Structure 1
Amino acid sequence: MKKSLLSLTLGGLTIGITEFVMMGLLPDIANDLDVSIPVAGYLISAYAFGVVIGAPLLVILTRNLPPKKTLLILTALLALFNSLCIIAPNYNFLFLARFLSGLPHGAFFGVGAVVASRLAEKGKEAQAISVMFLGLTIANVVGVPIGTYIGHHFTWRYTFIIVGVIGTITLLCIQFWMPKIEAAEAGNIKSQLQFFKKPESWLVILITAVGSGGFFCWISYIAPLLTKVSGFKEADVPYILILAGLGMVVGNIIGGKLADKFSPEKTTIYILLAIALDLTLVFFLSSHTIISLLLVFTTGSLAIALIAPVQMMMIRTAVGAEMIASATIQAAFNIGNALGAFLGGLPLVAGYSYASPNLVGVVMSLLGVSLTILFIKRKKHAAKVVTT
């Protein structure tokens, strides 16, 4: 693996712990700050909204900087804002800190995805992008379970100290390992935003937001699902999250290879259909402990496999504005994060079981399939117009 790509992997590790550890820490934070689990779940949404706002904004502000310098700035912000969570005296402060922590997330992945594709061998661009997201999956194998364990047995605040340290290490690795890449001619803001006028761009955004929302319906409430439905002890949750992380590692690799071998659009459809089936099984079978463990692995695997193909769909759709478009995809994923946490929480507020959010996830995944089919039709129609 190239050291330059490895530095992006470490960035993905920092972001992965930041984003996903909150799901495992919800009961601990809710208890410590004296709020309910659904209210604590809004901390997930706060981070997601930060990504949505920060992804296009920070890319626009840094559009004329060399990619390496941009990545250094974004990594410094990641380390700084996550460190604010350590000193949060109350829920409102933590809510604000989580929002700020999300600001550099999408921009880092957006710029990093384009940089990874430039550093890749021809025909292996999606696999290079998946190397960056490998850090996110490793976070779910190692970082998130360790962070959850620390939160259960000591205090959740220590977890964010770890995030700050890893962010600092990432900063150093980018400085010394990332080669200098000339900034592309970005043009003015108006020209960069032209891709938003294309219906295909909005379709990819919707596919990502709605389709990935099914996964976030599941993972946002995975801790109470495992303890209150599957019957595991709270102490078991960190170890089970390792299983989800292993699934993500496998799915990330498979998703990148499939997107390079087949079309990203077809790969997206098949993955979303598989997610819908998987979440249906989660709803009906999570009360069986062994099956529940198997589904933790498959759900993590399928959801992360979606990243590389949709990223490639957007990069190919937004020629000339790849970085801001790629960052927008990360914003779309976190709209899915917010939607999944919010919509998945509605049946819980209504008094249904902790398995019920998964049915909401099934609907969202199938809507993603419909939108992808529409995207393919629009793409074919646009190609016919060009040829005629």
Structure 2
Amino acid sequence: MTVTRTAEVSATGAAHGAAPPPAEPTPQPTPAAPVPVATARLAIFSLAIGAFGIGTAEFATMGLLPYIAAGFDASITEASHAVSLYAIGVVVGAPLIAALTARMERKRLLLGLALLFVIGSIGSTLAPSLPVMLASRFLTGLPHGAFLGIGAVVASTLVSPNRRATAMARVMLGLTVSNIVGVPAAAALGAQFGWRTAYGLVALIGMVTLVAVLCLVPRSAPAQAPSIRRELGTLKRPQVIITLVAGSIGFGGMFAVYTFISPTMTEVAGLPASAIPWVLACYGVGMTVGSLIAGPLVDRSIERSALLGISALGVVLLVLAALAQVPAVAVACVLLLGVAGSLFTTALQVRLLRESGDAPSVSAAMNHAAFNFANALGAILGAVVVDAGLGYRSPALLGAGLTVVGLAVMIFAVVSRRRAVRR
């Protein structure tokens, strides 16, 4: 959730004092020389291509699970570990890379991250066995958060200060477009030509990103960054910890459903397999709508937006569990999950940046890791309830329970902060 996919907070938010939240902000790099407008546009476009590839790599697996399972003669729940291992890769890679590369030249780091993404994607494409495929998915997830965060911040330094939010949003637009175009296209390719073709497409996008960054992104050096001790110190702040816990648990419900979206739509809702790409596109449209409405709502109140987002997630999951057999309702619920999820993740991201103060890099990276922990948690627990014979409605019920826990954590966070402010 990545994630991330929610970083498109409007420039209006910046004007109201809410920093636009890239997937994981890093210390502000300084361009070596003034950048012409055309150069900046091409550089931002190349970074958006990378975001498009990352979004496709993260979510395409959900639509390919039946084909991956058949290809390795495994169960769908065994194949679903490809989702959780990618997410665990993000959980490990996001904070680790943010902490260890704060002073590294940005373009070189972006190239290294893109290369790692390509290697992991090729490994997924050519994997001779399920364990090798799972290891490749873990490797592909490692550069996910760092590339998105560094790319967004580098983009912001290529333009004038009053256009930084727009530049960052355009990089993150690649994530949104990936869920509308890339993920459905990968699912369609997988259904028609085999699941390896879809991962081959992801690897190709990664190669294009590598060449584009090499040719189009100017070199830049990071400014003096806060010390690692200060960065890690933010993780001791109660409000930072509570925010991360709320995201880790509350968003797991959505991933419990989305991991098994393909069999749920075909076996419960009765849709043909050929409709799955369109269902995935609906989720992408929901994310886009959610990112558009999140900015103004979060500008008005971070806390109310977070509570509204997670409450809406719970309601939609309950409706899906009850009425998944009705195709129109099931598809509408997928769209609404995208809307509510974008609102919730945007609110938590801005909240975390506010609570992190002047050392946001590691805690913001942990925010990205938290949502991917939710991805892994939802996929694993969803597999448990399906393996228990409870059917493909059960992940939605499980997800509703997770959102209740996340809502309780979020309420505690809001109440405790208000008390602290009064004191």
Q: Tell me, yes or no, whether TM beats 0.5.
A: yes
Give a deviation string over 1:116-161, Cα, whole Å, max 9, x none.
6767888998776554432222112111111111111212111122
Q: What is the deviation of 1:228?
A: 0.6
Q: Identity, % of aligned pairs?
A: 35
Q: What is the deviation of 1:244?
A: 1.9
Give the gaps of 5 or more residues in structure 1: none
Aligned positions of 1:196-275 closer than 5 A: 196-259=235-298, 261-275=299-313
Moved more, 7-16 or 45-54: 7-16
- Specify whether residues 380 and 110 from structure 1 end up closer, same or farther in structure 2 by C-alpha distance, changes over 3 A only: farther
Contact 1:127 1:256 in 2 (8 A): no
Give a deviation string over 1:37-71, Cα, whole Å, max 9, x none.
01111111111111111111111221112444333
Structure number with the higher helix fraction is 1
Contact 2:53 2:202 in 1 (8 A): yes
Match of 1:331 in 2: 369
Question: Which of 325, 343, 357 is matched with 1:305 structurally?
Answer: 343
Match of 2:196 in 1: 157
Q: What secondary structure sits across from 1:320 in the alignment?
A: coil
Question: Which of 158, 163, 170 is matched with 2:209 structurally?
Answer: 170
* TM-score in terms of structure 1 length: 0.91
- Specify whether residues 167 and 121 from structure 1 end up closer, same or farther in structure 2 by C-alpha distance, changes over 3 A only: same
Instruction: Return the letter of the residue paired with 2:287.
Output: M
Contact 2:265 2:271 in 1 (8 A): yes
Contact 1:108 1:327 in 2 (8 A): no
- Specify whether residues 36 and 232 from structure 1 end up closer, same or farther in structure 2 by C-alpha distance, changes over 3 A only: same
Contact 1:217 1:358 in 2 (8 A): yes
Q: What is the deviation of 1:351?
A: 0.8
* TM-score in terms of structure 2 length: 0.84
Question: Which of 365, 382, 385 is matched with 1:344 structurally?
Answer: 382
Aligned positions of 1:91-170 closer than 5 A: 91-112=130-151, 114-115=153-154, 130-170=169-209
Q: What is the deviation of 1:252?
A: 2.2
Aligned mates of 1:122, 1:381 — CA distance in 2? 36
Instruction: Return the letter of the residue paired with 2:332.
Output: L
Aligned mates of 1:321, 1:213 — CA distance in 2? 27
- Specify whether residues 55 and 304 from structure 1 end up closer, same or farther in structure 2 by C-alpha distance, changes over 3 A only: same
Q: What secondary structure sits across from 1:185 in the alignment?
A: coil
Contact 1:54 1:103 in 2 (8 A): yes
Match of 1:183 in 2: 222
Q: How many corresponding residue pairs? A: 384
Contact 1:117 1:126 in 2 (8 A): yes
Contact 2:124 2:199 in 1 (8 A): yes
Q: Are residue 366 (structure 1) and residue 404 (structure 2) matched?
A: yes
Q: What is the deviation of 1:340?
A: 0.6
Aligned positions of 1:309-320 closer than 5 A: 309-320=347-358
Match of 2:109 in 1: 70
Match of 1:9 in 2: 48
- Specify whether residues 62 and 199 from structure 1 end up closer, same or farther in structure 2 by C-alpha distance, changes over 3 A only: same
Q: What secondary structure sits across from 1:215 in the alignment?
A: helix
Q: What secondary structure sits across from 2:67 in the alignment?
A: helix
Instruction: Return the letter of the residue paired with 1:297.
Output: L
- Specify whether residues 6 and 204 from structure 1 end up closer, same or farther in structure 2 by C-alpha distance, changes over 3 A only: farther
Q: Are residue 61 (structure 1) and residue 100 (structure 2) matched?
A: yes
Question: Which of 64, 81, 84 is matched with 1:25 structurally?
Answer: 64
Aligned mates of 1:105, 1:291 — CA distance in 2? 33
Moved more, 126-135 or 26-35: 126-135
- Specify whether residues 205 and 235 from structure 1 end up closer, same or farther in structure 2 by C-alpha distance, changes over 3 A only: same
Give a deviation string over 1:287-323, Cα, whole Å, max 9, x none.
1112222222212222233332222222222223322
Contact 2:85 2:138 in 1 (8 A): yes
Contact 2:226 2:359 in 1 (8 A): no
Q: What is the deviation of 1:378?
A: 3.2
Aligned mates of 1:31, 1:40 — CA distance in 2? 9
Q: What is the deviation of 1:35?
A: 0.6
Contact 1:130 1:256 in 2 (8 A): no
Aligned mates of 1:305, 1:120 — CA distance in 2? 27
- Specify whether residues 284 and 135 from structure 1 end up closer, same or farther in structure 2 by C-alpha distance, changes over 3 A only: same
Aligned mates of 1:156, 1:326 — CA distance in 2? 33
- Specify whether residues 73 and 339 from structure 1 end up closer, same or farther in structure 2 by C-alpha distance, changes over 3 A only: same
Give a deviation string over 1:8-33, Cα, whole Å, max 9, x none.
43222111111100001100000000
Contact 1:51 1:106 in 2 (8 A): yes
Aligned mates of 2:128, 2:93 — CA distance in 1? 25
Aligned mates of 2:272, 2:141 — CA distance in 1? 31
